[in-house]
Amino acid sequence: MLFEELQIRNVRIRPAHILAPMAGITDTVFRRFIKRLGGCGLIMTEFISSEGMIRQNLKSRRYLYYTEEERPISAQIFGADPDHLADAARIIEDLGFDLVDLNLGCPAKKVVKCGGSGLLRDLPLLKLILEKIRRSVSIPFTIKIRSGWSDEEIVACQVAKLAEDSGVEAIAIHPRTRLQGYSGKARWELIRETKVSVRIPVIGNGDVMSPPDALDLQAKTGCDAVMIGRAAPSNPWIFRQMESFARTGRYNEPSEADRYQLIRDYYAMLIQEETPGAIGKMKQFASWFTHGVRNGAELRRSVQSSKSPQEVLARVDDFFGAADHKQLSAPDTAPCQSPLL
């Protein structure tokens, strides 16, 4: 079965479909939203600065909030100070997270200066960091990496072996370099090379936009799980589509009714949770959630010009021609009941 299950010590990930950590996207509302749609075996927080955690700033505390509904859940940290990263990992364990993950993949300049994919250029420092984090926690410890800094500095296999020797229990690989950013094609052959070089689980990430892509990834790399990033905001159904494809060889595309319910459920959750900056989130996600909606540009313009979250909901209802506008506009937190599958 396609990515049926992955066991990372005592953490069972079934199916072995993982929501990638994405800055500004994978907050607690979006994570629960994905879980309710089904088919996602593990979710991850947005990456969290170890320095911010040590200082206990408000943003870090908000990133660390989760509910029992989200389990199993991994918290991802970044930084470059071994002691501070070890302290941050201990905080994550004390907060009850199931796993802790170290970000070695972010290509953003402000992150590279203090960790992220920048650590791929300093393997002695990375070795010290991995060993200190491993000694500091008893929960499973994983990492997520890029293939290297540039095409001339591909270090995926080297880092994977270093990680395995340091007690890291799984590694996710996005096989683009830091200099590539998100351009060009992901080099899946590097996932395959890494998979055969270590005994720990290897998680494939990059250019998986549909269930057939996931099947292709598994066939070409032999990886143990698939991690979905950029495809999730525009197609949150992708996880359960992969699950259906694994069982039956088929999957359904969302209907207009599915898309309407998706938008309403997510927006209603933002309001119900009193999410800071809810209207900003609504406008941010409008460009993704309206993908595939007929006349979606009209809906996006309507959402962007709204002045309040309640106005956004009303305009969504108007756009889709809701029969009972008053009733549909009332927020609720019931699980999504989209008839997609």
333 has a pLDDT exceeding 70: no
Cβ-contact 60, 53 below 8 angstroms: yes
Topology of the domain covering 6-248? TIM Barrel (3.20.20)
337 has a pLDDT exceeding 60: no
Closest-CA residue to 97 (of 52, 127, 63): 63
**Catalytic positions, please?**
106
pLDDT of residue 236: 94
- Where along the chain do its domains lie? 6-248, 256-329
192 has a pLDDT exceeding 50: yes
- What is the pLDDT confidence band of residue 331, given thresholds at 50, 70 and 90? very low
Angle of helix 278-289 relative to helix 296-304, nearest 10 degrees, comes to 170
Residue/partner pairs of 245-248 with CB below 8 Å, 24 or more apart:
245/2, 245/211, 245/212, 245/214, 245/215, 246/1, 246/2, 246/3, 246/4, 246/15, 246/211, 247/1
pLDDT of residue 336: 34
Q: What are the tens digits of pLDDT across the range 25-35?
A: 999 999 999 99
Q: Please confirm whether the linkage preceding 212 is cis (ω < 30° from 0).
A: no
Span 97-103, average pLDDT: 98
Angle of helix 296-304 relative to helix 309-320, nearest 10 degrees, comes to 160
Span 114-129, average pLDDT: 93
Span 117-134, average pLDDT: 96
pTM higher than the cut 0.85? yes
Residue 191: half-sphere exposure toward Cβ, Cα within 13 Å: 30
Q: Within 10 A of 37 (CB to CB), how many other CB atoms are there?
A: 23
pLDDT of residue 340: 34
CB-based contacts of 6, cutoff 8 Å, min separation 6: 12, 13, 14, 16, 41, 170, 201, 203, 224, 225
253 has a pLDDT exceeding 60: yes
Instruction: DSSP for 95-160, please give it.
Output: TT-SEEEEEE----HHHHTTSGGGGGG-HHHHHHHHHHHHHH-SS-EEEEEEEESSTT-B-HHHHH
Tokens 């960091």 -> residue: 129
Q: Angle 236-21-9 (CA atoms, 0-180°, nearest 5)?
A: 105
pLDDT of residue 40: 97
CB-based contacts of 218, cutoff 8 Å, min separation 6: 2, 3, 204, 226
Mean pLDDT, the chain, integer: 90
Task: Region of 295 please: left (phi>0), alpha (psi -120 to 50) or beta.
Answer: left
The H or E element that residue 234 is part of is helix 231-234
Span 154-167, average pLDDT: 97
At 129, the amino acid letter reads: I
Q: Percent of the chain scored above 70 by pLDDT?
A: 94
Q: Where are the beta strands (DSSP E) in the chain?
A: 6-8, 11-13, 17-19, 43-44, 48-49, 73-78, 99-104, 141-148, 170-177, 202-205, 225-228
Rounded to the nearest angstrom, the gap between the alpha carbon of residue 256 and the centroid of all alpha carbons in its chain is 25
Residue 181: half-sphere exposure toward Cβ, Cα within 13 Å: 3
Tokens 């309040």 -> residue: 308
341 has a pLDDT exceeding 60: no
- What is the pLDDT confidence band of residue 288, given thresholds at 50, 70 and 90? confident
pLDDT of residue 321: 85
Span 71-81, average pLDDT: 97
- What is the pLDDT confidence band of residue 257, given thresholds at 50, 70 and 90? confident
- Alpha-carbon distance 328 to 336, whole Å? 14
Q: What are the tens digits of pLDDT across the range 199-216?
A: 999 999 999 999 999 999
Q: Percent of the chain scored above 90 by pLDDT?
A: 69
Residues pairing with 100 in the sheet: 75, 141
142 has a pLDDT exceeding 60: yes
First to last CA, the chain: 18
Question: Tokens standing for 337?
Answer: 């009941």
DSSP three-state, residue 16: coil
Rounded to the nearest angstrom, the gap between the alpha carbon of residue 198 and the centroid of all alpha carbons in its chain is 24
136 has a pLDDT exceeding 80: yes
- What is the pLDDT confidence band of residue 36, given thresholds at 50, 70 and 90? very high
Cβ-contact 149, 210 below 8 angstroms: no
- Alpha-carbon distance 198 to 164, whole Å? 7
Span 218-245, average pLDDT: 95
- What is the pLDDT confidence band of residue 1, given thresholds at 50, 70 and 90? low
pLDDT of residue 289: 86
